[in-house]
């Protein structure tokens, strides 16, 4: 990741404020209905989504071979004729590959010289209910294996209990353990339930030095939703206005379609601006979304509706 | 064409045009005649209908003449009895119409966007779905009418005149309830935007609407005036400007045609210190940058707490930058074209006046042509014309306040009373504001929400009557509310003959809880045959003025609970009973007994006329509160001087109003006797004020008084004058018949609809 780190600032709970859920839901619904992206523009936006994608596998049955297959798709996300048909001079690639710590080594080897970073989840993903020293050790292990981005999970209990200094200290310690790696703080917003909690947790994570804030592990009952994304984007804007520091955003979990990719990018463009459509500040945590994007792009090139079984599997 | 690598640099949205092919094909059917008696007439004198965004002629339509209006009214009249007689048919036809709207939704949406200039996103996502929703809802009312409104009758032929800002939606709001109730209609769409009404006429044929049930007459204000003036029209419904509403009020005065008026507004948009400011900023977008701000209920006056004003202003200005103004048919357009160059010029002129008066303007960007950028006028003092004049464009003003009471004061400092939007995360405070703001619709943490089952309509100069829900259906059903009775005679203030009956009794006006001598220092003899019942004080304009002021001071009565008012009114019944013999000098004992019974009756009612919670959208509470008007004028009948007066006073005060009463001129003494009894019964001073004198003069003063909110008038002889004079502040006038019941109470309240979305 080429973006500079977000330096920690002091814990400041004055930055919290209540979020009105019905209003956030209305804005999220109208935001994507207000913008329509067609033709070549749609193709470009879908390509941009690939460039911002953390292509992910986080399953109990992950194997090194499975990870290598994913990395191959990250390097060549589209069939050659699609790339040519879109007028691109070189094969695009995804923003990163995201795996469990024990898979980092295999991923790093598979992505050698591709320029694609490896992101690792850590800190007792997905629940995070492990002793802090073990969680910090896990971060150091993943960094040591070659991960340049660490997706940590927060202790939801600190948010639900309003224990903000404990949350701040925990994330600050994790950031320290990351060393040169960027830290993405997964808030597990489905567990936090209220948008006011989401906003408060976002502010504390950014104050503690998170380089990205991320919605979900993909394992909660509710994953990335647009009202949650809207709330987190506004928190990023608020933090920037208060400190001058810039933080990235990563929705993750439940996003499967090319339409989702467009909607989330519209949210970024409208609420945070053009800069948040670059991989340095925006990632889509997804697995199956890429297949749908590839189908849509092939349709754009050929005019025929496409079939996934004719594309390379991730 | 831009290459994909180039787009990847800018990440621009690119064009997303909606096709106009089907709409153009339909427009080629023009020039259009009028839809009368189930078919289109041959085109007559034609005028151009323009697409404001592209500055081109879309179609030519017919200027409806007086003769055309007459033909349409005749067709409606002929069709009406059979239509009213078959509610099952009405339900089937309305259902078919709702389906036809949905089946043709794209054509309607594109045509509406072409004609009005509004964005396709809004016609597609808001206007047309609301049209279908409204027609479905009223298909249901046709089915349920006999159960829910037993013995109700349709008015007959309804004349309906609608504006250009939501052409098809306003048509649906007018036509659907009228048809459901069994009326037939003659509707005039706005001259700028008649096209979707003509398309609607075509689907009426497809849906099997019997000939003559729906008649569409296009034309300008002259055509509208012909509808208003036509003797064969039984009810008038108008949505449009307050100025035209006043003209219609005067034109129909005394005609007996019931009237509903949905007029202008200058609605407050209040942001409290604890509001979710991002939500409120987005609220402004939905309030005033929806439909180019051409919305009668637009929240055009931002009132923001000083504590958050700087942050709010900054975020609002930055939000203005992401609004896209341009081609209405592009699916990524937020703000389309202004309806006409004339309207754009009016907007620009008012903004220039506002800036000249000291406002600081922030403008977004807009393309050349009939487009207006979003405009924020900051530092707008209440004296700035932009703070009080309805602009009807994408222009919003910003003022600050220090405390919730000051916010209420600023919010209510307007002649209008259509809507209000309140933003706070503290529902306790938000509901306090909602209760105190004079507006027919209040949205809490939301704005511009509409539903067929949420009553919509205004207070004050924003008009009267409600559209939607049960309340709206009531406006299309006939009530036997024509006052009957004798006209007032003449008053001779000079000494008269007549024998006194016992010791002289002194009667005074009753104002502010005290007996007052008439300002003019005169009285007249009240005779019953040869017997002089006494002298009545000869009240004048100044006494009315004083009485209205006293009534305003008695606002505590309106804030009391129904139960507290009931106790006072039961006590009044007791006092009346105690004074039966004294009153018997002025009215027969039977009338006194009936008066006591009526007092008991309305005491019983005073805590029982509840509002409603309407079933609008999920996760919304939509309240329909019944609120007192405040200060009402009451013109009593000549007959039954005690019972007639109490029949109006009691329901009015039971609902929390304070009243200025003009008693029977022939015999005001019984009503004047009430004064001290009211005081003795703990009715607070100023709640009931009684001014005797020449009824016509006093009624005229009351009807013309801008600080009297409504009138109840039981003197048919002055009805026309009262209606005419009431146009000044557009106070509703109820013509009260003799009797009692729920209708009397409902005439004394206005509905305030409060929307409260919720969600953790």
ipTM score assigned to the predicted complex: 0.96
For A292-308, what is the mean pLDDT?
97
DSSP string, B238-263: EES-HHHHHHHHHHHTTS---EEEE-
| Global pTM exceeds 0.90 | yes
Cβ neighbours for B672, distance < 8 A, ≥ 6 positions apart: B507, B508, B509, B510, B536, B537, B663, B690, B692
Residue in A22, A30, A41 closest to B12 by CB: A41
- Asked if A41 has any chain B CB less than 8 Å from its own CB, the reply is yes
Structure tokens at B3: 């290459």
Active-site residue, B363 included: no
- Active-site hit among B158, B204, B296, B297: B296
How far, rounded to the nearest angstrom, does the alpha carbon of residue B591 sit from its chain's CA centroid? Answer: 37
State the angle between helix axes of B87-103 and B105-116 in degrees (0 to 180), rounded to the nearest 10: 70
Q: What is the DSSP string of B363-388?
A: E----SSS----EEEES--TTSHHHH
CA dihedral A123→A129→A132→A138, nearest 10 degrees, is: -30
Question: What local confidence, expressed as pLDDT, does residue B536 receive?
Answer: 95
pLDDT reported for residue B504 = 78
A59 touches chain B (CB under 8 A): no
CATH number of A21-36+96-286: 3.20.20.70
pLDDT, residue B501, reads 65
Any idea where the domains of chain B sit in the sequence?
21-263, 267-457, 509-516+539-751
Is B333 strand, coil or helix? coil
CA distance B571 to chain A (A): 48
pLDDT, tens digit, 9 for 90 and up, residues B584-643: 999 999 999 999 999 999 999 999 999 999 999 999 999 999 999 999 999 999 999 999
Angle, CA B736 vertex, CA B483 and CA B470 arms, to 5°: 120
Nearest to A40 among B4, B276, B446 (CB): B4
The architecture in CATH of the region B21-263 reads 3-Layer(aba) Sandwich (3.40)
pLDDT in tens, B698-757: 999 999 999 999 999 999 999 999 999 999 999 999 998 889 999 999 999 999 999 999
Reported as a single tens digit per residue, the pLDDT across B319-344 is 999 999 999 999 999 999 999 999 99
Q: Tell me which residues of chain B have a pLDDT lower than 50.
A: none
For A9, counting Cβ atoms within 10 Å of its Cβ (0-12 exposed, 13-18 middle, 19+ buried), the class is: middle
Three-state SS for B273-300 is CCCCHHHHHHHHHHHHCCHHHCCCCCEE
Report the alpha-carbon distance of residue B346 to residue B352 in Å, rounded.
10
Integer distance in angstroms from the first to the last C-alpha of chain B? 47
Question: Six-digit token pair at A1?
Answer: 């990741």
How does pLDDT run across A252-282, given as a tens digit for each residue?
999 999 999 999 999 999 999 999 999 999 9
Please check the confidence at residue A1 and state whether its pLDDT lies above 70: no
How remote is the C-alpha of B158 from its chain's centroid?
17
Measured between beta carbons, which residues in chain A are less than 8 angstroms from residue B8? Answer: 44, 47-48
Q: Measure Cα distances from B568 to B557, B647, B667, B744 in Å.
A: 11, 17, 26, 19
CA B481 to chain centre: 19
The DSSP result for A150-181, as a single string, is EEEE--HHHHHTT-HHHHHHHHHHHHHHHTTS
- Cβ distance B446 to A277 less than 8 Å, yes or no, reads no
Give the CA radius of gyration of chain B.
28
pLDDT for B481: 61
B713 noted as active-site residue? no
Contacts of A125 (CB under 8 A, 6+ apart): A58, A100, A151, A152, A153, A186, A217
H helix runs in B481-540, sequence order: none
The overall average pLDDT reported for chain A is: 97
φ/ψ of residue A153, rounded to 5: -110, 145
Cα distances from B584 to residues B341, B503, B580, B581, B588, in angstroms, run 69, 15, 6, 5, 6
Asked if the domains B267-457 and B509-516+539-751 are classified in one and the same CATH topology, the answer is: no
Interface test with A, best of B4, B311, B430, B756 (most A CBs within 10 A): B4
Radius of gyration of chain A (CA): 19
Tens digits of residue pLDDT in A89-144? 999 999 999 999 999 999 999 999 999 999 999 999 999 999 999 999 999 999 99
Nearest to B332 among A34, A39, A277 (CB): A34
How is residue B209 annotated by DSSP? P
Which carries the bigger pLDDT value, residue A1 or residue B191?
B191
Query: Which candidate in A184, A214, A260, A292 is catalytic?
Result: A214
Q: Which of residues 121-160 of A touch B (CB under 8 A)?
A: none
Q: Which of B365, B364, B275, B363 is nearest to B312 (CA)?
A: B275
Indicate the class that CATH gives domain B267-457: alpha beta
The SS3 of residue A79 is coil
A-B CB pairs within 8 A amount to 99
Q: B509-516+539-751 in CATH: which number?
A: 3.40.605.10
Asked if A234's CB is within 8 angstroms of B279's CB, the reply is: no
Using one digit for the tens of pLDDT, what is the confidence trace for B124-169?
999 999 999 999 999 999 999 999 999 899 999 999 999 999 999 9
Distance from CA of A214 to the nearest CA of B (A): 21
């Amino acid at each position: 990741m080429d973006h500079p780190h977000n330096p920690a600032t002091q814990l400041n709970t004055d930055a919290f404020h209540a979020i009105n859920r019905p209003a956030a839901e209305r804005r999220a619904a109208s935001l994507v209905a207000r913008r329509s992206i067609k033709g070549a523009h749609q193709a470009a936006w879908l390509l941009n989504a690939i460039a911002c994608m953390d292509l992910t596998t986080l399953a109990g049955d992950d194997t090194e071979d499975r990870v290598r297959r994913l990395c191959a798709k990250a390097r060549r996300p589209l069939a050659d004729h699609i790339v040519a048909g879109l007028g691109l001079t070189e094969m695009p690639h995804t923003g990163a590959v995201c795996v469990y710590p024990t898979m980092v080594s295999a991923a790093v080897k598979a992505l050698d010289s591709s320029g694609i970073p490896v992101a690792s989840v850590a800190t007792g993903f997905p629940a995070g209910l492990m002793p802090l020293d073990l969680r910090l050790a896990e971060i150091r292990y993943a960094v040591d294996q070659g991960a340049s981005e660490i997706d940590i999970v927060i202790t939801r209990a600190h948010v639900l209990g309003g224990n903000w200094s404990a949350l701040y200290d925990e994330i600050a310690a994790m950031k320290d353990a990351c060393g040169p790696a960027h830290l993405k703080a997964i808030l597990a917003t489905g567990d936090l339930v209220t948008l006011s909690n989401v906003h408060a947790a976002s502010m504390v994570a950014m104050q503690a030095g998170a380089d990205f804030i991320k919605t979900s592990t993909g394992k909660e009952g509710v994953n990335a939703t647009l009202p949650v994304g809207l709330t987190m984007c506004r928190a990023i804007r608020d933090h920037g206005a208060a400190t001058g520091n810039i933080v990235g955003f990563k929705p993750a979990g439940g996003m499967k379609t090319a339409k989702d990719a467009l909607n989330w990018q519209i949210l970024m463009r409208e609420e945070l601006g053009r800069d948040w459509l670059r991989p340095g500040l925006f990632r889509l945590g997804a697995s199956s979304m890429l297949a749908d994007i590839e189908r849509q792009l092939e349709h754009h090139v050929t005019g025929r509706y496409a079939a996934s079984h004719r594309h390379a599997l991730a | 064409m831009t290459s994909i690598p180039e787009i990847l640099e800018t990440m621009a949205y690119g064009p997303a045009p909606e096709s106009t092919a089907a709409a153009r094909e339909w427009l080629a059917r023009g020039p259009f005649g009028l839809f009368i008696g189930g078919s289109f007439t041959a085109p007559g004198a034609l005028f151009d209908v323009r697409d404001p965004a592209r500055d081109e002629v879309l179609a030519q339509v017919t200027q409806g003449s007086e003769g055309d209006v007459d033909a349409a009214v005749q067709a409606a009249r002929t069709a009406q009895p059979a239509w009213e007689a078959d509610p099952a048919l009405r339900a089937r036809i309305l259902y078919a119409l709702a389906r036809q709207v949905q089946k043709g939704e794209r054509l309607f949406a594109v045509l509406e966007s072409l004609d009005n200039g509004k964005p396709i996103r809004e016609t597609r996502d808001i206007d047309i779905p609301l049209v279908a929703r409204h027609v479905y809802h009223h298909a249901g009312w046709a089915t349920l009418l006999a159960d829910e409104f037993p013995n109700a009758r349709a008015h007959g032929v309804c004349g309906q005149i609608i504006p250009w800002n939501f052409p098809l939606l306003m048509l649906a709001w007018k036509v659907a309830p009228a048809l459901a109730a069994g009326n037939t209609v003659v509707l005039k769409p706005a001259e700028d935007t008649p096209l979707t009404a003509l398309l609607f006429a075509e689907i009426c044929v497809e849906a099997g609407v019997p000939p003559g049930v729906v008649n569409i007459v296009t034309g300008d204000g002259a055509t509208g005036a012909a509808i208003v003036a036509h003797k064969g029209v039984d009810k008038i419904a108008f949505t449009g400007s307050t100025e035209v509403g006043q003209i219609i009020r005067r034109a129909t005065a005394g005609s007996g045609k019931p009237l509903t008026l949905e007029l202008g507004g200058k609605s407050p948009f209040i942001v409290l210190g604890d509001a979710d400011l991002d939500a409120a900023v987005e609220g402004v977008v939905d309030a005033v940058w929806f439909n180019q701000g051409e919305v009668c209920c637009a929240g055009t006056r931002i009132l923001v707490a000083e504590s958050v004003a700087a942050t709010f202003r900054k975020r609002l200005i930055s939000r203005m930058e992401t609004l896209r103004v341009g081609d209405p048919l592009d699916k990524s357009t937020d703000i389309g074209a202004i309806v006409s160059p004339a309207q754009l010029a009016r907007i620009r002129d008012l903004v220039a006046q506002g800036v000249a008066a000291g406002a600081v303007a922030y403008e977004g960007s807009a393309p050349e042509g009939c487009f207006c950028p979003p405009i924020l006028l900051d530092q707008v003092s209440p004296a700035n014309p932009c703070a009080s004049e309805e602009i009807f464009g994408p222009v919003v003003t910003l003022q600050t306040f220090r405390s919730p009471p000051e916010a209420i004061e600023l919010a209510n400092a307007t002649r209008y009373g259509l809507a209000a939007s309140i933003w706070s995360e503290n529902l306790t405070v938000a509901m306090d504001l909602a209760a105190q703001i004079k507006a027919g619709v209040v949205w809490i943490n939301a704005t511009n929400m509409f539903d067929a089952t949420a009553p919509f309509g205004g207070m004050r100069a924003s008009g009267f009557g409600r559209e939607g829900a049960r309340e709206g259906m009531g406006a299309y059903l006939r009530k036997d509310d024509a006052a009957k009775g004798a006209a007032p005679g003449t008053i001779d203030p000079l000494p008269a003959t007549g024998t006194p009956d016992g010791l002289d009794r002194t009667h005074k006006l009753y104002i502010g809880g005290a007996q007052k001598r008439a300002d003019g220092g005169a009285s007249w003899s009240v005779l019953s045959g040869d017997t002089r019942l006494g002298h009545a004080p000869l009240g004048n304009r100044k006494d009315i003025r004083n009485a209205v002021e006293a009534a305003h001071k008695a606002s505590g009565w309106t804030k009391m609970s129904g139960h507290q008012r009931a106790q006072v009114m039961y006590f009044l019944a007791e006092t009346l009973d105690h004074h039966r013999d004294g009153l018997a000098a002025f009215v027969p004992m039977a009338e006194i007994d009936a008066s006591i019974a009526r007092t008991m009756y309305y005491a019983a009612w005073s805590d029982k006329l509840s509002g409603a919670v309407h079933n609008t959208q999920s996760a919304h509470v939509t309240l329909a509160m019944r609120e007192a008007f405040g200060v009402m004028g009451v013109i009593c009948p000549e007959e039954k001087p005690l019972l007639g007066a109490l029949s109006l006073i009691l329901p009015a005060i039971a609902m929390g109003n304070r009243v200025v009463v003009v008693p029977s001129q022939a015999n005001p003494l019984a009503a004047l006797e009430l004064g001290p009894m009211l005081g003795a019964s703990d009715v607070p001073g100023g709640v009931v004020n009684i001014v005797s004198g020449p009824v016509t003069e006093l009624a005229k003063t009351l009807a013309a008084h801008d600080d009297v909110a409504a009138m109840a008038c039981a003197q048919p002889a002055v009805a026309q004058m009262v209606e005419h004079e009431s146009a000044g502040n557009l106070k509703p006038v109820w013509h009260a018949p003799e009797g009692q019941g729920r209708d009397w109470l409902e005439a004394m309240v206005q509905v305030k609809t409060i929307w409260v979305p919720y969600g953790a």
